[in-house]
């Protein structure tokens, strides 16, 4: 009981340290240079409070449930020793987990030129196919860099056959579909497979799952763009709803709660059903251990509902309003350093970032520290937000940044230790999550409309930019490790602490 109280306090402290800097920066900007209405400001502050509580519940719940289920299923798949069964299960899991990702539903609604069911189905199949490729890479030790080079060469060739706007939508989809549900489950599944493999290359090969799964959505959307010939992505720009009074303010949040409760329930249910099948036919866990996972699922559900409500209801209007206000100023360029500072801190409010940091520390036995990962991600996102806002101000094509950025990242992969390469490519999709879509993208949209730019062509691509730059910064960290002669430790199953063992089997039930 005392242990879990202490654990909740630690996670609450982490959540506050992630959200409070963003709140302070936004308040300073609003009280000095940008005139933001009190209603929008109150929406933002209430949203920030929901974010803190949501992150706290999600962090505990993901460790207890999503990560535990993923590890057990991954270990079970590996123990079958049947290649066709492993690949078939991997494909089905990739499709199911992707369909359950709430952000994919949002993406489908933003591309009206393609039927929602077609887009969701194609993206899900794309993730399933590349999850199979990722499993083959883990099983047969296929080098990571050549797969990425060939995949991105195909991607950039396909961009020549679709419109520039739709190309950016395709790249954004790679970040959108790697949300907290997908990251928690698939990365943990890789951990489970690595634990059964138990060889000196297992730790290196356990990463890269999310990087490869991010390629599937990009290819799927580009292929659909060639088939359907859409004129553009038709991103729906954020609508600012300003509360007229305190009752209206409360209604904005309470009316959105049922929507997100339904979305998250639909996201969790397919994964629960898959785990139930494994439990009945293979795992056969004892009741109290199973109850721990059930309690963790409840925590995860509560956390995601509160997090998404706070982010989408509280942060979207504030980001859009702030971008429009600064864009209308005499010197709108001041938004670049402001956006970079916000980007530096906002990445730590992404739930999936904590999952990645914990998995990296666990599998490297602490050789790659969470603090080093955090600094590299924060710097990477800060740079990417600055470049994205400069692109909006100047109207530069996003493809110039994406092609040169990915080319540099792929070249670096030949000179950086293998584990850092896979971690870097995983981090791109993890960093570009709900907070990017909820605050940074509306910030760019508001700026774009204020300066008279193309609301669709110039403002989207923010998610793609945020997903790209961490590939370079984290590989840069790996290059420093290499130069100094520091190499990550190999996987040590008997020394590392699994999420299955982090909490006692009965402690959470007693709590």
pLDDT band of residue 507 (cuts 50, 70, 90) is very low
What's the chain's average pLDDT?
A: 82
Give me the mean pLDDT over the 140-148 stretch: 88
Residue 36, C-beta contacts closer than 8 angstroms, at least 6 positions apart: 30, 318, 321, 322, 325
More confident residue, 110 or 418: 418
Give the per-residue pLDDT at 399. 85
pTM: 0.81
Q: Write down the pLDDT at residue 71.
A: 85
> 234 lies in a domain?
no
| Averaged pLDDT, 460-482 | 85
For the residues 219-236, what does the mean pLDDT come to?
74
Q: Between 497 and 358, whose confidence is greater?
A: 358
- Residue 470 included in any domain: yes
What CA–CA distance (Å, rounded) separates 441 from 315?
Answer: 11
CA 35 – CA 440 distance, rounded (Å): 18
Low-confidence winner among 61-75, 178-192, 282-296 (lowest mean pLDDT) = 178-192
Which range, of 22-26, 277-281, 373-377, averages the lowest pLDDT?
Answer: 373-377
pLDDT score, position 492: 39
Res 496 pLDDT > 60: no
Q: Residue ranges of the alpha helices (H) in 62-143?
A: 67-79, 83-99, 102-109, 116-140
pLDDT at 155: 93
Token code pair at residue 285: 């866990």
- Token pair 């506050």 is at which residue? 16
Place of tokens 């509902």: 305
pLDDT tops 60 at residue 495? no
Percent of the chain predicted with pLDDT > 70: 84
Assigned domain for 1 exists: no
Which span out of 122-136, 345-359, 360-374 was modeled with the highest average pLDDT?
122-136
Bigger pLDDT: 300 vs 230:
300
Residues 156-197 pLDDT 10s? 999 988 877 778 778 878 877 777 777 778 888 887 887 776
407 φψ region: left (φ > 0), alpha (ψ -120 to 50), beta (else)? alpha
Rounded to 5 degrees, what angle do the CA atoms 258, 263, 269 make?
120
Q: According to the model, what pLDDT value does residue 368 have?
A: 74
Q: How confident is the model at residue 508 (pLDDT cuts 50, 70, 90)?
A: very low
Going by pLDDT thresholds of 50, 70 and 90, the confidence category of residue 404 is: very high
Residue 244 placed within a domain: no
Mean pLDDT value across residues 50-54: 91
323-351: average pLDDT: 89
Per-residue pLDDT band at 62 (split at 50, 70, 90): confident
Give the list of residues 6+ apart from residue 257 with CB closer than 8 angstroms, or none: 305, 309
- How far CA 366 is from CA of 16, 62, 70, 232, 488, in Å, comes to 24, 20, 21, 45, 8
Q: What pLDDT band is residue 340 in, cutting at 50, 70 and 90?
A: very high
pLDDT over 90 percentage in the chain: 24
Whether 10 shows a pLDDT value over 50: the answer reads yes
In a domain, 236, yes or no: no
Instruction: Please report whether residue 241 resides in a domain.
Output: no
**Three-state DSSP string of 392-429:** HHHCCCHHHHHHHHHHHHHHHCCCCCHHHHHHHHHHHH
For residue 510, pLDDT beyond 50: no
* Residue among 310, 278, 315, 301 nearest 440 (CA): 315
Domain count within the chain: 1
Q: Write the CB contacts of 45 (distance below 8 Å, at least 6 apart in sequence).
A: 23, 314
Confidence band of 237 (pLDDT split at 50, 70, 90)? low
208: left (phi over 0), alpha (psi -120 to 50) or beta: left
CA 460, 464, 468, 469 torsion-angle sign: positive
Residue 483: the pLDDT is 81
Range of the domain at 210: 8-228+250-305+315-510
Q: How confident is the model at residue 349 (pLDDT cuts 50, 70, 90)?
A: confident
The pLDDT assigned to 238 comes to 52
């Amino acid at each position: 009981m005392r242990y879990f109280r202490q654990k909740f306090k630690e996670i609450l402290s982490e959540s506050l340290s992630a959200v409070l800097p963003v709140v302070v920066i936004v308040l300073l900007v609003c009280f000095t240079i940008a005139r933001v209405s009190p209603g929008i400001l109150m929406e933002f502050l209430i949203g920030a409070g929901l974010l803190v509580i949501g992150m706290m519940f999600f962090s505990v719940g993901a460790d207890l449930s999503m990560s535990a289920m993923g590890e057990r299923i991954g270990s079970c798949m590996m123990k079958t020793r049947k290649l066709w069964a492993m690949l078939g299960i991997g494909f089905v899991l990739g499709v199911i987990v992707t369909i359950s990702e709430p952000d994919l539903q949002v993406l489908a609604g933003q591309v009206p030129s393609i039927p929602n069911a077609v887009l969701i189905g194609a993206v899900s199949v794309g993730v399933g196919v590349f999850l199979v490729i990722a499993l083959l890479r883990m099983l047969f030790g296929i080098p990571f860099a050549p797969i990425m080079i060939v995949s991105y060469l195909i991607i950039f060739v396909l961009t020549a056959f679709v419109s520039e706007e739709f190309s950016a939508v395709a790249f954004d989809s790679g970040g959108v579909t790697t949300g907290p549900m997908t990251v928690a489950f698939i990365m943990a599944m890789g951990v489970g497979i690595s634990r059964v493999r138990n060889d000196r290359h297992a730790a290196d090969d356990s990463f890269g799952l999310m990087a490869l799964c991010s390629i599937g959505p990009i290819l799927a959307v580009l292929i659909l763009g060639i088939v359907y010939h859409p004129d553009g992505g038709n991103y729906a720009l954020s609508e600012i709803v300003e509360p007229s009074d305190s009752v209206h303010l409360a209604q904005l949040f309470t009316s959105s709660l049922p929507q997100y409760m339904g979305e998250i329930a639909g996201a969790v249910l397919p994964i629960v059903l898959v785990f139930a099948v494994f439990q009945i036919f293979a795992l056969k866990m004892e009741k109290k251990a199973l109850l721990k996972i059930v309690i963790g699922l409840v925590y995860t559900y509560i956390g995601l509902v509160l997090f998404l409500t706070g982010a989408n209801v509280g942060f979207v209007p504030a980001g859009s309003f702030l971008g429009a206000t600064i864009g209308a100023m005499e010197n709108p360029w001041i938004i670049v350093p402001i956006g970079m500072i916000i980007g530096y801190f906002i990445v730590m409010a992404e739930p999936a970032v904590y999952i990645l940091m914990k998995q990296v520390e666990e599998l490297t036995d602490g050789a790659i520290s969470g603090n080093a990962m955090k600094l590299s991600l924060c710097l990477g996102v800060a740079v990417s937000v600055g470049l994205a806002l400069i692109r909006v101000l100047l109207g530069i094509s996003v493809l110039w940044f994406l092609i040169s950025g990915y080319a540099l990242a792929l070249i670096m992969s030949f000179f950086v230790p293998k584990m850092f390469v896979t971690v870097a490519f995983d981090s791109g999709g993890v960093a570009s999550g709900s907070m990017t879509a909820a605050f940074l993208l509306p910030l760019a949209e508001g700026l774009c409309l204020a300066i008279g730019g193309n609301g669709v062509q110039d403002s989207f691509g923010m998610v793609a930019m945020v997903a790209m730059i961490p590939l370079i910064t984290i590989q840069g960290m790996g290059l420093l490790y290499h130069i100094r002669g520091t190499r990550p430790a190999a996987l040590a199953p008997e020394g590392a602490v699994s999420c299955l063992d982090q909490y006692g089997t009965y402690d959470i039930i007693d709590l």
